[in-house]
Amino acid sequence: NAGVTQTPKFQVLKTGQSMTLQCAQDMNHNSMYWYRQDPGMGLRLIYYSASEGTTDKGEVPNGYNVSRLNKREFSLRLESAAPSQTSVYFCASSEVTSGRDEQYFGPGTRLTVT
Amino acid sequence: SQKIEQNSEALNIQEGKTATLTCNYTNYSPAYLQWYRQDPGRGPVFLLLIRENEKEKRKERLKVTFDTTLKQSLFHITASQPADSATYLCALDRGDSSYKLIFGSGTRLLVRP
């Protein structure tokens, strides 16, 4: 039981390059989330998927796209990376999208855009 | 504007003492408040959840209080140990139909042996 896994762990991109961050969970959770964490800013929600087949914007969606490939997998794509997207990205999952449900986080992807 | 505030300065305490961390919020009416622990280079890990109609919740050495009048939650670790050193994040639901969590920026706790 691996929980939430993310790939890659580290990535360096040049401005304008694209990449996809992968996330998978094996807990049969309905809801999945992508956050970014910057120093002093806390975790900010980029996109989330309340259930398979649905996706919605969070607080900071500009410059990102997501795909809920199936119930297990939720990917985050940067089409044209910018230095402002340098951050640590966390994927999380929960049983449902609810304030009463704990979220399970992956180990994070550290992305640097030069 | 809506805001969650946690002390950005690290809390430095002696082993065996009680650590108390604060989470204040404005312009939210959360039904639930959660606390997470985050170690360096790792993702957050859930610790405790408290509902708006609960004043206090305990789990082993951890205690959380939730005062909806003061708009504040306190997180206590009793008999603290060096292994408790980490960053602690509070998170609350927005109190609207979105049910999404909003996270504070966290407070770093250092427990000296």
In tens digits, what is the pLDDT along chain A, a chain of 114 residues? 789 999 999 999 999 999 999 999 999 999 999 999 998 788 999 999 998 989 999 999 999 999 998 999 999 999 999 999 999 999 999 997 777 889 999 999 999 999
End-to-end, the C-alpha distance of chain A in Å comes to 36
Q: What is the pLDDT of residues A79-106, one digit of tens each?
A: 999 999 999 999 999 997 777 889 999 9
Measured between beta carbons, the chain B residues lying within 8 angstroms of A42 are: 4, 89, 103-106
Which residues 88-107 in chain B show a CB within 8 A of chain A?
A: 89, 91-94, 98-101, 103-106
In 3D space, the residue among B67, B110, B109 whose CA is nearest the CA of residue B92 turns out to be: B67
Distance in angstroms (rounded) separating the CA atoms of residues B95 and A107: 28
Distance in angstroms (rounded) separating the CA atoms of residues B113 and B102: 33
Q: Are strands B107-112 and B11-14 parallel, antiparallel or unpaired?
A: parallel
Measured between beta carbons, the chain A residues lying within 8 angstroms of B87 are: none
CA angle B92, B95, B93 (to 5 degrees): 20
